[in-house]
Structure 1
Amino acid sequence: MKHLSLLLLFLSMGVSHARVVSVSPGPLLRVEGQPVSLRCDVTDYEGPREQDFDWTMQQGEAGSINVISTFEPKYSDVSLSDRVASGDLSVVRLGDSVVELRIREVRSSDSATYLCSTPSTDSVFSGNYDAGVALKVIANTLKVAPEAPEPVVPEGGDITLSCNVTRHFTDPTYLSVTWSLRRPGIPLVDILTVGPDGDVVIGSASAQRYADGGLRLAIRRDGAFGLVVAGVTQADAGMYVCTGREWIHEEGGQWKNIVGKTVEMGAVAVTPTARSLSVVAKSNTTLNMDDTLTLTCLISAGNLASLALEVTWLVDGRTAVSLGRDGVVSNGSPSVGLERTGPGEFRLVVRGVRGSDKGIYSCRVRAWVGGGGRWYQAAEKTSNPVQVLVTQISE
């Protein structure tokens, strides 16, 4: 019986409560002017479900300073009372046994070790009743300096977006940059991000474009981040924005954003291809039977080099021959051909003309922009009519 009593005593001691107070893992690095939250929770305690908490701060060899309490209204040190009254310093309950110390705009003078304490409500003093975390506050040296893009870009052209993100390196922090586009009536849309670990994150609306090569990164030697938006369309017009962020790698391998800054780069307008596209056919001609007909289609546009052209010669409104944007001729024959002879210059050749080849000729051009899987027709225009006459020489 004696041995059984001892066993029961040891078992009762084994299951007794041992209070555990824990705080946010640290040390913590934060930037002045930013909000800070320090979490404190208590477990394995006895007594009331709702527990109370005291926060103090220790700076160097100086004595501890009372910050705030959940149950003593006049707990705060006089040097902090104005900040408590204004709400810059507060304690917020997240549950019966969990609170957060919140600093709305942290100051460099807030660098300290913060101690969270819980008054005992246990029948036996057991466990730990306080826990601390070190907080270091550094100056906000983050700078975001973008270069203004070209304000007007032709449809199918490129937009180059350069943004320099820097900070004074006094502590192990990392940088990221995000390019975004703001259009009237549409929320800001992220295009692409270079993360603090160098990984590239593509906005959901830009994934296919990136895969097709329509978005290209160009990191310059001076450290500036560059993004090229290729084959622009009307949907690419708007205000471009660059956001730089500073990060730390916290305990547990998690990235923590400690400060960010967003700067407008500049508005970009996209000139429609239809506005500058010009198509001219040359010229009226009279031929004899069996002669060779040569007609030239001249095409000009403000963004000609960025366009993929589909050219069709029509005779009395019917298709005679076509040259696709891929350079493949359709409806041609050994006697009828169509070729590109220069930038914006396409030549129709009909050998051994017959009387049936007479009529009204015109050149229809469809201009395409894009690339990969995102081609779209930007404009279509038909030239002036050209009359072709074929005469038969009488013997």
Structure 2
Amino acid sequence: MVPGAAEGGSKSSGRRQRGGGTQQLPLGAGPLRIPTPRCSASCSPPGHAPPAAPAPQSPRRPPETPQIRLRTMGALRPTPPPRLLQLLLLTLGVGCGAREVLVPEGPLYRVAGTAVSISCNGDAVLLKIARLQAQDAGIYECYTPSTDTRYLGSYSGKVELRVLPDMLQVSAAPPGPRGRQAPASPPRLTVHEGQELALGCLARTSTQKHTHLAVSFGRAVPEAPVGRATLQEVVGLRSDLAVEAGAPYAERLAAGELRLGKEGSDRYRMVVGGAQAEDAGTYHCTAAEWIQDPDGSWAQIAEKRAVLAQVDVQTLSSQLAVTVGPGERRIGPGEPLELLCNVSGALPPPGRHAAYSVGWEMAPAGAPGPGRLVAQLDTEGVGSLGPGYEGRHIAMEKVASRTYRLRLEAARPADAGTYRCLAKAYVRGSGTRLREAASARSRPLPVHVREEGVVLEAVAWLAGGTVYRGETASLLCNISVRGGPPGLRLAASWWVERPEEGELSSSPAQLVGGVGQDGVAELGVRPGGGPVSVELVGPRSHRLRLHSLGPEDEGVYHCAPSAWVQHADYSWYQAGSARSGPVTVYPYTHALDTLLVPMLVGTGVALVTGAIVLGTITCCFMKRLRKR
């Protein structure tokens, strides 16, 4: 039987007084409320002080330490008269050396098969009754004999013990193993990472007293023995109806990922949203019954625990696998390229708890690392292209429940390399928040694209060989082509490198202008800032003209032709390129421009000199004329 609690306070308290001082014999306030089948009561004597002077008629000396006596005064319920006289008298010196003394079963105290013990701790004595039974209810008294020469009051304290029947029941819901400490083999439950874990518990009591139930869900790590030291609380409903979580789960409770509710009169349900790997273990339901003392405080009178399930969390990282096909590919330029990616494993379907994204990466042959992104489908099924693939006809689609296809409508030689499929698994937390749980890459899949075999050569020169400032400089570029498919188109661009202190600049060449494969001219920036014209003067001949040449246009120019092929999807790709030799442009100055400055200087000097000579002669002539 699990004891309940008695009601009311202690019946009396012993008190001894000497020389104006008061000494008490306190006993815990009753009624005693016992949470386990083991009952204990503590009694603390105040110590002993011998009388100031022994009475002449009583030469005995009191013992060095007082004695503590505990006795039961009979059951509360009506019993035969002889039973009311049953007493258990336990005597123990407070100064005893033994920490605990086992008391043999006596005929006066009906505790057949029950172990009774008392132990001392300093000046306190503790009475323990294991395997409490209903007939153990009664009024218990702790008292110490008086060593005074005269009686000064009461030297005892009493407490009432009432034993309530065990009416608490705990089990798994749906009905599972029952009992206090769970069976050896709990049922097993496997959930996928990110899925919802729901466990139910039935807890009820039919105690006649007004009591409250507190229900707690706990977890023990796999293979760990069950006990308070190993059982970690997940979430619990307290006796005051407050819901609280254990320290590791407080954040998840606040985020709404952990919930605890009551369904009906005796069913409690815990829901863990987005199960994680650390949620694996043996789950228990612990129910505690609480009763309210007369002083308003609550005391626990019973507790039971039931095993709910052994939970295994199947992590996505251990299940996610990616395979690709159909194997090594060899195709020609302009042909379509299709690659398949299959995501396998015991995975939850995409939806409320899990989501997946799949993409393809490409690395040029021999390049380290996974490469750059070609295309991908995100968790919402929206496709996107990687950098450098915008404007091309590339499709990324889901063709089966876990099969994805990448299709390039027209492959190019630059598409050759090693392809890998990358899959990522996400679990959904509170709200719509996604957390990446696992990722996996496939083995490398080689793809070879044949080259077009286009060979270009370019020859550039400056028309006329010499150019003067203010004139128009014409640069010509002739292109020769060998190989290539029909419909090959050419483009040419002109570039300049400016000299700095007599040497070419280390900065990249600057585009001056050019004509694309579609015949559209593109103008860059001329060093001198004047007008520029580019034109196609022949099937394979291009010309660049720099009007009103100035000294800032000095530099080294070159022609860069390229060959382009258009596929059936109307996309263009560069099949070849070349670069001509350097062409130096130096704007010379005309001869007249060279002599003009000296002529102007000489004329100015002559005029000044003549004026000075003429002025001097005139001045002297006038002086002589005045003298005459």
Coarse TM-score class (shorter-chain normalised) = 0.7 to 0.9
Percent of aligned pairs sharing the same letter = 24
Q: CA deviation at 1:40?
A: 2.1
**What is the Cα deviation at residue 101 of structure 1?**
2.2
How far is 1:364 from its partner?
0.7
**Given the alignment of the two structures, is residue 313 of structure 1 paired with residue 342 of structure 2, yes or no?**
no
- Deviation of 1:380 after TM superposition, in Å, equals 1.6
1:182 equivalent in alignment to 2:221: yes
Give the superposition deviation at 1:357. Answer: 3.9
Amino acid at match of 2:75: Q
Give the residue type in structure 2 aligned to 1:218.
G
Cα distance, 1:53 vs structure 2: 2.2
Q: Does 1:80 align with 2:119?
A: no
> Larger strand proportion, structure 1 or 2?
1
Choose the corresponding residue for 1:362, options 406, 409, 420. 420
In the alignment, does 2:193 pair up with 1:155?
A: yes
Report if the CA contact (8 A) 1:23-1:40 is conserved.
Answer: yes
CA contact (8 A) 2:287 2:303 kept: yes
Give the alignment partner of residue 394 of structure 1, picking from 486, 507, 514. Answer: 486
Q: 1:131 to 1:275 in 2, by over 3 A?
A: closer
Q: Map of 1:15-34 to 2, 5 A cutoff? A: 16-30=20-34, 34=37
Is the contact between residue 309 and residue 365 of structure 1 (CA under 8 Å) also seen in structure 2?
yes
- Code of the residue aligned with 1:215 in structure 2: it is L
Instruction: Report the CA distance shift for 1:298/1:71 in structure 2 as closer, same or farther (over 3 A).
Output: closer
> Are the structure 2 counterparts of residues 382 and 131 from structure 1 closer, same or farther at C-alpha, using a change threshold of 3 Å?
same
Instruction: Name the counterpart of 2:458.
Output: none
Residues 55-70 of structure 1 mapped to structure 2, 5 A cutoff? 55-60=71-76, 63=84, 65-70=86-91
The answer on 1:239 being equivalent to 2:260 is: no
1:145, 1:114 → 2: CA distance? 36
- How far did residue 348 of structure 1 move? 5.9
**1:28-67 superposed matches below 5 A:** 28-30=32-34, 34-43=37-46, 46-47=49-50, 48-60=64-76, 63=84, 65-67=86-88
Partners of 1:387 and 1:152 lie apart in 2 by 41
Q: Which has the larger radius of gyration?
A: 2
Give the superposition deviation at 1:81.
6.5
In the TM superposition, residue 272 of structure 1 has moved relative to its aligned partner by 3.9
Q: Which amino acid in 1 is paired with 2:348? A: N
Residue type at the aligned position of 1:364: L
Q: 1:95 to 1:278 in 2, by over 3 A?
A: closer
2:442 to 367, 375, 382: 382
Q: Aligned partner of 1:319: which letter?
A: R
* Residue aligning to 1:129: 155
Distance in 1 between residues matched to 2:195 and 2:446, nearest whole Å: 32
Give the stretch that moved more between structures: 337-346 or 86-95: 337-346
Instruction: Report if aligned partners of 1:312, 1:364 keep a CA contact under 8 Å in 2.
Output: yes
CA distance in 1, matches of 2:414, 2:118: 93
In 2, Cα distance between equivalents of 1:82 and 1:111: 11
SS of the aligned residue for 1:43 comes to: coil
Residues 352 and 15 from structure 1, CA distance in 2 versus in 1: closer, same or farther, beyond 3 angstroms? Answer: farther
Q: Aligned pair 1:303/2:303, yes or no?
A: no
Q: How far did residue 49 of structure 1 move?
A: 4.5
Shift of 1:277: 3.4
| Residue identity opposite 1:311 in structure 2 | V
Letter in 1 for 2:391: S
Partner of 2:356, secondary structure, is strand
Q: Matches of 2:435 and 2:222 in 1, distance apart?
A: 22
- CA gap of 1:143–1:374, structure 2 versus 1, over 3 A, is farther
Displacement of 1:223 in angstroms is 2.7
Distance in 2 separating the partners of 1:386 and 1:219: 59
Report the 3-state secondary structure (helix = DSSP H, G, I; strand = E; otherwise coil) of the residue aligned with 1:70.
Answer: strand
Equivalenced residues, count? 378
Q: Which residue does the alignment assign to 2:12?
A: none
Query: Can you list the C-alpha shifts for 1:206-237, whole angstroms capped at 9, x where unaligned?
Result: 33443444322232224311112232233333
Contact in 2 for aligned 1:17/1:46 (Cα 8 Å): no
Structure 2 unaligned spans of 5+:
1-16, 51-63, 94-101, 177-186, 364-369, 453-484, 488-628
Helix, strand or coil: the match of 2:250? helix
The answer as to whether partners of 2:73 and 2:87 remain within 8 angstroms in 1 is yes
- For 2:65 and 2:262, the matched residues in 1 are separated by 56
Segment of structure 1 superposing worse, 341-350 or 101-110? 341-350
Q: Secondary structure at the match of 2:208?
A: coil
Moved more, 44-53 or 108-117: 44-53
Q: Is the 8 A contact 2:322 2:342 kept in 1?
A: yes
1:266 paired to 2:309? yes
Cα distance in 2 between the residues matched to 1:42 and 1:167: 39
Asked if 1:371 is matched to 2:420, the reply is no
Q: Residue type of the partner of 1:24?
A: G
**Any gaps of 5 or more consecutive residues in structure 1?**
1-12
How far residue 104 of structure 1 moved from its aligned partner, in angstroms, is 0.8
**CA distance 1:344–1:218, shift in 2 (3 Å):** farther
Deviation at 1:244, TM superposition (A): 2.0
2-side partners of 1:39 and 1:330: how far apart? 78
Given candidates 92, 97, 107, the residue that maps to 2:119 is 92
Pair 277,139 (structure 1): closer, same or farther in 2 beyond 3 Å: same
Name the SS for the 1:39 alignment partner: strand
For residue 326 of structure 1, report the CA deviation from its aligned partner: 8.9
Q: Does structure 1 residue 257 correspond to structure 2 residue 325? A: no
CA distance in 1, matches of 2:263, 2:109: 47
CA distance in 2, matches of 1:244, 1:74: 34
| Letter paired with 1:318 | G
Say whether residues 1:223 and 2:261 are aligned partners. no
1:196 matched to 2:233: no
Q: Name which of 328, 332, 335 aligns with 2:391.
A: 335
1:207 and 1:347, CA in 2 relative to 1: closer, same or farther beyond 3 A?
A: farther
Once residues 256 and 80 of structure 1 are traced to their aligned partners in structure 2, the CA distance between those partners, rounded to angstroms, is 28
User: Alignment partner of 2:231: what SS?
Assistant: strand
- Following TM superposition, by how much is the alpha carbon of 1:318 offset from its aligned partner in structure 2, in angstroms? 1.3
